[in-house]
Structure formats: structure tokens, C-alpha cells
Structure 1
Amino acid sequence: MVEQVFNYSVSDDKAVEKIIMDENINYIHMVFNKNEGLPEHYSNSNVYMTIVRGILSIQLNDQEIHEYTKGDILKIPYQTKMNVNNLNDSTLELIVIKAPAPGNLKKS
């Protein structure tokens, strides 16, 4: 078998699943219910967020909170301050890709 197969959960329970964490990329599946999210942090690579369902409420650096919905894809630069939350009633589901993988990022 040439391909590798990975799975992620399909429930509404809170999840931060590190699906692929290799030398090329980090591929992370996240599910947040109302008032759940990530602690404030700085991006450790270029981050690509795909909103699969729900509404993402995100504050980047000193911006106001912006909201994004299903079908939106965000590209967030390296070393950006991030506040990722679900402030809405519907379940938020995201796919997050970090590229290059943080361990392989050439720092300037």
C-alpha cells in the first residue's frame, strides 16, 4: 500500500486532533462548541485555516474580532498573535495546516 490513511473524529465533542505531524506539514482537526477555543498564542509557522462548519471568531494581532464561516480559508503569517474562539451557538469545525512544519521553518 503506497498511501497512508488518517482519520479524524466526526462528533460534536471538543477536539484538537493532531492528524499529521511530519517534516512537511502539521495537519490538525479542531472542533469547538460555544465559548470554546484555543489559548492566545503566536503562530509558529504559516497557518492555513479552513472553516468546515460553524462560525470562527478570531482576533489577529491588535485587530478587532473577525468572523468567518463555512467555506472560508484564512492564511495567517508566521508570528501572528492569535485568539481563536467559537462565540456562536453552532459547533465550529476547522482544519488547520501549518506549512512548513514548525520544526522546519527557517527563522530569519
Structure 2
Amino acid sequence: MTKKESLTGQGEAKDKTNLIKKITATPANCQSAAAQRQRILDWLQRSSLTTLEAREKLDIMHPGGRCMELRRMGYNIQTVWTLELSDAGGLHRVGRYILQQVEDGDR
């Protein structure tokens, strides 16, 4: 069991693994800003996303920029600051992005 599985529970870790497979089934090597925004949106519709997750799992090096672009497009994405361990073991203050659901007429 990994550190993340012990923190989130095995069921949630399995769900995230399935989510990663589904999202990255699209052309993951397409690094256009539009493709990166779409990968973030696909993820956020199911779960929150941290900066480290976006870099490691979605291959998006600057998720904050993509989230800013999505906000300008009308998406209500909140940022919550959190402390997370990187794969190298360093503790980092990173953003956790959360898509707030809006009513149909709000966007």
C-alpha cells in the first residue's frame, strides 16, 4: 500500500487509478493548452486535483495557468492551499483545485 492509499483509502485510490486511465486514454502527448484544459476539466468533474497530481498524472506542468484560463472561460474553480509530499519526499505548499458546480443558467 502506498502512502497515498493509506491516506485516502484503497477504494478511492482504485477509483483514481481508473480515472487516470480514462483521462489519459485521450491523446496525452497533445500538449496544447486546450488539451491540457480538457484533461483538467475531465478530472475536476470527478474529483479535486492538486498541482502535484496534475504534473505527475496528467503531464501538465503549470496547472495553475490552465485553471486561470478555465476561470476566464466561466468555470468556477476554487483553490485551497495544502501541504503535500512530492515523490522525492519534500513537503510543498500546493494548490488543490476544486470545480464548484453551477446552476445551468449561471454559465
| Fold in common (TM above 0.5) | no
Relative contact order, CA 8 A, sep 6+: which one is greater? 1
Shorter-chain TM-score range: 0.3 to 0.5
Q: Which has the higher strand share?
A: 1
> TM-score if structure 2 supplies the norm length?
0.32
TM-score (norm 1): 0.32
More helix, by proportion: 2
